[in-house]
Chain A
Amino acid sequence: MSKKLRAAIIGSGNIGTDLLMKAMRSEWIEPIWMVGIEPESEGLKRAADFGIKTTAEGVNGMLDQVISDDIRIAFDATSAYVHAENSAKLNALGVIMIDLTPAAIGPFCIPPVNLKNHAKKLEMNVNMVTCGGQATIPMVAAISQVQAVEYGEIIATVASQSVGPGTRMNIDEFTRTTSAGVEQVGGAKKGKAIIIINPAEPPMVMRDTVHCLTADKPDEEAITRSVHKMVAAVQEYVPGYKLVNGPIFDGKRVTVFMEVEGLGDFLPKYSGNLDIMTAAGLRTAEMFAEEAANGGIELPVRSTP
């Protein structure tokens, strides 16, 4: 029996397609389905060309084959509006849902910080926060793991071309969700998030600045070590995650300057903000697969078809 968990990707847009390309290389995940809503969509055609099963009828178009295809993982790359329904339908069939939308029904997941806990508890729905959250919360956590952080602030600057209409129409959701993640997963007592969109040509690679105010004088050596270790942990799934400058220390302020370049699978390299979401989503699925393979968790019981 293959150790790979079989998966469905919901949403045949840019994010779903990039995720598919990454998943096809995975040692732990085998993408089986691509789910869309537009029969003529490029994403569905492309998936079909890769030999992936497709439906243009949304999640309903694959529900009767979830068990027979042994689908264990689903990635939702649609929108917050339809996520709850998608998740309920698939959870009912024992499919673990990885939520790349801002819906955030399940707990936030930042792979190098708290993914192991979610996998061990077999959380049936985990949320990938936001692109800015994936890029910055590991750094807040790296600092708060050394000493108490009173305040964590992140500034994510992204290329205009990489920000889709969904994010634009509800940009408040980005700031709210990211600051909640800075607190809940990053470990800052209070969190703040700022997003800046830059239209320069050629498009700029995603940049992220993280400022933390520590409760006491920062332990420079321990924080520097912790930050470098965390950068390496993120680089395992996002090789283009780079510490450009810092950590710098100024009184109780600790600042790191990051750059996130994508792999350029389907999305252009500058859109590291999108790449880090698909890569983190896939990394999350892989961890569930690893835990299932080594007996750390029992997947929901199914009668063999």
Chain B
Amino acid sequence: MDLKGRKITVHDMSLRDGMHAKQHQISIEQMQTISQGLDAAGVPLIEVTHGDGLGGASVNWGFPAASDEEYLRAVIPHLKQTKVSALLLPGVGTVDHLKMAADCGISTIRVATHCTEADVAFQHIKLGREMGLDTVGFLMMAHMIEPEQLLEQALLMESYGANCIYATDSAGYMLPDDVTARIGLLREKLQPETELGFHGHHNLSMGIANSLAAVEAGANRIDCACGGMGAGAGNTPMEVFIAVCDRMGIETGVDTFKIADVAEELVTPIMDFPVRIDRNALTLGYAGVYSSFLLFAKRAEEKYGIPARELLLEMGRRRMVGGQEDMIEDMALTMAKERKTSS
């Protein structure tokens, strides 16, 4: 694979996707320290919000240590070159949240839908573009549909005004060929000026390989998380990806040792548990299940005695999509009742 001289933008997820692994409890001070570390290491773009995006604060997903607005206002003014993005899931966040985040100074809005439901992003993408923001359409669980179907949805988002489209491997299920097929087709059929991105999860340890496949197929934005702190087994670990890019001659603008120090000294110490491929995270990637279901399934196991792996497999069989965490407790209750009756 010869990618020498390719210029890409890496986008750090540790302060947004990493919120899942922290049950949304990253403190304002931790957000500030880590974001400034990423800034000094040369990371061009970072994401800051509740794990489930703007407006994600809820009983359902968890109330965060601070509001989206408090985080954004605490982080953005202290950054020298790093820009900040916010994630927004239509059905959760609204254009009011988008306006608030723009007022806080974000450069980028990423509007995320399940991979078949792009049209619910119409009003948010349109507004983001009208406000002059870098506007990204983020198609989640992209492994669940064929490349041709993904293209249809990407074309919709592009037509609403998105200047960048992501194929998002929310379950960490894809193998490099799956990435190549999707990014390759999008590159062929979308406008040449539309950027393409890939967001990976490391549940099968494919984060680096998949990200390289994406770059080779035409993506120029790659999501990584410093220290790998993200949902499930985390995202593509930033420091590892940067080291690999360095060796291959892919230009990221990020300093390998500096980012490795941020991972070691700032991110890893705040983790509640080692973010790694345990048997449940492995199940996510193996069965194609949304990565942030992990901790919910573990808690349900503790409370109702149904193994997390069984719950995750059943969520996968029922083709649950991102955001359906409520169904984990519901399913555990139902399974516990059935087992009580049959024993």
List the interface of chain A (C-beta within 8 A of B): 151, 153, 155, 157, 160, 165, 168-172, 174-176, 192, 194-201, 204, 207, 209, 211, 213, 244-246, 248, 253, 255, 257
Contacts and interface: CB of A to CB of B under 8 A. Distances in A.
Interface in B324-339: 324, 326-327, 329-330, 333-334
Contact of B330 (A165, A169, A198, A244): A244
A155 B114 CA distance: 16
A153 B60 contact: yes
A168 B91 contact: no
Given A171-B120, A171-B123, A198 B321 contact: yes
B333 A196 contact: no
B119 interface: yes
Dominant SS among interface residues on chain A: strand
Interface residues of B, number: 28
B122 interface: yes
Contacts of A248: 329, 333
Contacts of B117: 160, 168, 197, 199
A194 B119 contact: no
A209 B330 contact: yes
Contacts of A204: 318
B90 interface: yes
B60 A194 contact: yes
B279 interface: no
B323 A194 contact: yes
Given A194-B323, A198-B324, A209-B330, A168 B120 contact: yes
Interface in B133-150: none
A255 B326 CA distance: 10
B324 A172 contact: no
A201 to B, nearest CB: 8
Nearest to B327: A207
A168 B119 CA distance: 6
Contact of B326 (A168, A174, A192, A257): A257
Contacts of B92: 175, 194
B320 A175 contact: no
